[in-house]
Amino acid sequence: MRRDRRTKILATLGPASENPEMIAKLFEAGADVFRLNMSHLPREKLKERVEMIRAVEARFKRPIAILADLQGPKLRVGAFEGDSAMLVQGQSFTLDADKTPGTKNRVHLPHPEILSSLEPGHTVLIDDGKLRLRVKSVKQGSATTIVEVAGKISNRKGVSLPDTTIPVAAMTEKDRSDLEAALDAGVDWIALSFVQRPEDVAEVKKVARGRALVMSKLEKPQAITRLDEIMEISDAVMVARGDLGVEMPLEKVPGIQKRIVRTARKLGKPVVVATQMLESMITSPVPTRAEVSDVATAVYDGADAVMLSAESASGQYPVDAVSTMSRIAEEVEQDQNYWSIMRTLNAEPEATGSDAIAAASHQIADTLNIKTVAAWTFSGSTAFRIARERPNSTVVALTPSVNTARRLALVWGVHSIRTKDASDIDDMAFRACKFAVREGYSAIGERIIIVAGMPFGTPGATNMVRIAFVNQEHAAQA
């Protein structure tokens, strides 16, 4: 099965899509990566979900990537007398360490790390920003605030702190257990929530030890202030616009999205745009015009992937949501403006042999109008580098590693195939041509570009580019 688009689609699994038949339908509709949200998926069911996806993978004989999304620290207020209270604008309201039920004047905040980090002037957002408090004063075990945006506050509503760096790791004990379970189950990507600093990412990578790649979810202002450091250590990033739009002014989110996407492209790191992309399709079979434009904008910017959350997890039209997103991406990629934008946003190659080879393959493909670049890769780095150039040709990644083939399912423009490594240069060229024909990307008489590293099987040693002609023998073997 081949796709007619470069941009990949992540579909979140949930109550509406957690059986084998629906997973297969979502894959046929266009899903390339399946997201398992550990905020809602019980750890004991994780392995079962992974096995379902692997069964679909075996059925369609195509690598599928699995992303386990860790919940991260969930900050919440305590409980209230009568389950809720009404706050009035301008009133004083205290957050404290007292575990007794809250009133209209105070509530327990069961996070001592927050109480010790708040400072006068800091903003405290409650219930996804529906209520806004401004810290007036702090003392040991409590913080007095002034209510700026009033309303009803109820039991265990979420707390967001856009101005406060909390001295707590992005991984909780639940996350640590979920991470080990996900790695044992064989997921391909780990998404880390509420990243604040590069050390958060380093902690996960230390545990993962290469068994899965790590994606940083950028959803806190603190992460944006250290964006370059976080992106340097991450294997991929996600523009998590939900919490980002709570903790920062909404009007800033589009600009931040573009900054993240462009920085990721410059670094050659996959970037996912997520949250509310086709939100109305949770209950409607068609999206709004604004949602179509939102998805199209992410594709025009060159994002590696766009993501569906509740649309595919709990919505009424999960398959329609995936197919709609796929059609939008296909249409954008057929627009002549798309490719001019891709060329404009391309970064200069780094001064390395591998980057020079990747850039050369892109230039050769453009000059000779070659439709397929075959990349022999063990670790996936060769395919990552070529995809960074956003060539107007399909990158067929040939790898002996099933893990690499699956991870590359997230990467822009890459069609990965698991096969034994090449034995010599002639075998490399012959099988590259054969697979290009078999997968429907090239025909007899056409040329393909082959990129590889010598000696074979040496990770990160991309040092060769070759042009080969597809002939009758390749087609016969395909």
Catalytic residues: 35, 76, 217, 275
**Cα 15 from chain centroid (whole Å):** 21
Write the secondary structure of 15-78 as one string of H (helix), E (strand) and C (coil): CCCCCHHHHHHHHHHCCCEEEEECCCCCHHHHHHHHHHHHHHHHHHCCCCEEEEECCCCCCECC
Distance CA 11, CA 39 (A): 16
CA distances from 160 to 137, 182, 450 (A): 18, 27, 50
CB 415, CB 431: distance < 8 Å: no
Distance CA 415, CA 466 (A): 19
Distance CA 431, CA 456 (A): 14
Distance CA 152, CA 127 (A): 10
Q: DSSP characters for 331-366?
A: HHHTSHHHHHHHHHHPPPPPSSHHHHHHHHHHHHHH
Tokens of 175: 């996350």
Distance CA 169, CA 24 (A): 37
Q: Are strands 131-139 and 123-126 parallel, antiparallel or unpaired?
A: antiparallel
Distance CA 92, CA 337 (A): 54
Locus of tokens 């957690």: 18
CB 9, CB 30: distance < 8 Å: yes
Q: Is 228 helix (H, G, I), strand (E, B) or coil?
A: helix
Q: Where are the beta strands (DSSP E) in 210-325?
A: 213-218, 236-240, 271-274, 305-308
**Amino acid in the structure at residue 319:** V
CB 296, CB 384: distance < 8 Å: no
Locus of tokens 């493909």: 365
Buried b (16+ CB within 10 A) or exposed e, 304-334: bbbbbbbbbbbbebbbbbbbbbbebbbebbe
Bin 151: left if φ > 0, else alpha if -120 < ψ < 50, else beta: left
